[in-house]
């Protein structure tokens, strides 16, 4: 278990109802944090909230958010801002993997939309509250070693309209998480906000189960001997959210609570800036200048 020290006051978490998100939420609440849980399913959110309160933690704020709908993300961000609380940590944890191509209600390829567009928009809208917690505010993005499945963002068919492959789609979305982290950390340099991302390891979670995806049922069976549990998978998320030893670290990619090298294409600032501009234009949201 990675060592912890002082915890931040207010943490916003996406995907907190299962897997590593739930494990992170329970651990951070147990150690004194006030949580805001952004949940697609409020009944499951209420279950997590009850578990937190029963363990002696502060009752979380629950906000409904469907990351496959940018309107839902906008409403959720507005609700969080209306709480009037500075955000010490934003943990962008939620994600999915699909066995075949799906489109969101906005007409975007769903894996890229949920894993990249939604956290990009959410983070941008919540930045005013995050900056209120500076210095010392943190943004933590759950990426993945799956960025090694691809070698670029494939802008010629980034929505995978012509050819869809499950691990290519997922790999691109996780590469996007790393490139987003890289650019945002540069933009927020000197503002008292750190931005880091992480690989949780191969974790048996509910990813993909919202659609009853066959891949979500088959892969855990095949790879069960190699999977770590959600608590183990959540360790690096908790570490980056809470430990004082990483207070000044930004722009990094972490695994097992240690800085880890990414593939060369995940360090490509030209690709990162192109993704940033493409995302802003596609979702119709422009980050404020600092």
Strands 34-39 and 10-14: parallel
What's the CATH code, domain 10-283?
3.40.50.720
- 285 is written with which tokens? 């949201």
CA distance 83 to 56: 22
| Catalytic residue chosen out of the listed positions 164, 170, 278, 287 | 170
CA distance 99 to 164: 9
First vs last Cα of the chain: how many Å apart? 37
Question: What pTM was estimated for this model as a whole?
Answer: 0.91
**Residue 140 bridge partners (DSSP):** 91, 196
Does the annotation count 287 as an active-site position?
no
| Nearest C-alpha neighbor of 207 from the set 81, 96, 102 | 96
Q: What is the pLDDT along the chain (290 residues), one digit of tens a residue?
A: 665 555 558 999 999 999 999 999 999 999 999 999 999 999 999 999 999 999 999 999 999 999 999 999 999 999 999 999 999 999 999 999 999 999 999 999 999 999 999 999 999 999 999 999 999 999 999 999 999 999 999 999 999 999 999 999 999 999 999 999 999 999 999 999 999 999 997 655 455 455 555 555 555 544 444 456 778 889 999 999 999 999 999 999 999 999 999 999 999 999 999 999 999 999 999 998 76
């Amino acid at each position: 278990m990675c060592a912890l020290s002082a915890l931040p006051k207010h943490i916003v978490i996406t995907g907190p109802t299962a897997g590593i998100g739930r494990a992170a939420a329970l651990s951070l609440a147990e150690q004194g944090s006030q949580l805001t849980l952004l949940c697609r399913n409020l009944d499951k959110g209420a279950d997590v909230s009850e578990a937190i309160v029963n363990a002696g933690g502060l009752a979380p704020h629950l906000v409904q958010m469907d990351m496959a709908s940018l309107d839902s993300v906008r409403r959720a961000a507005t609700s969080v801002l209306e709480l009037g609380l500075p955000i010490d940590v934003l943990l962008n944890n939620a994600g999915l993997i699909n066995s075949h191509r799906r489109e969101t209600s906005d007409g975007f390829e769903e894996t890229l939309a949920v894993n990249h567009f939604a956290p990009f928009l959410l983070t941008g809208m919540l930045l005013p509250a995050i900056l209120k917690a500076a210095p010392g505010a943190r943004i933590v993005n759950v990426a993945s070693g799956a960025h090694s499945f691809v070698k670029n963002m494939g802008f010629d068919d980034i929505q995978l309209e012509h050819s869809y492959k499950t691990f290519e789609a997922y790999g691109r979305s996780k590469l996007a998480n790393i490139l987003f982290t890289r650019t945002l950390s540069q933009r927020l340099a000197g503002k008292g906000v750190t931005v880091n991302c992480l690989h949780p390891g191969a974790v048996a979670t509910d990813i993909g189960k919202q659609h009853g995806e066959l891949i979500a049922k088959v892969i855990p069976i095949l790879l069960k001997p190699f999977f770590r549990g959600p608590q183990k998978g959540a360790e690096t998320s908790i570490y980056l959210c809470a430990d004082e030893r990483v207070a000044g670290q930004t722009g990094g990619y972490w695994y097992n609570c240690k800085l880890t090298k990414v593939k060369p294409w995940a360090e490509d600032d030209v690709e990162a800036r192109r993704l940033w501009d493409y995302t802003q234009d596609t979702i119709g949201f422009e980050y404020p200048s600092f």
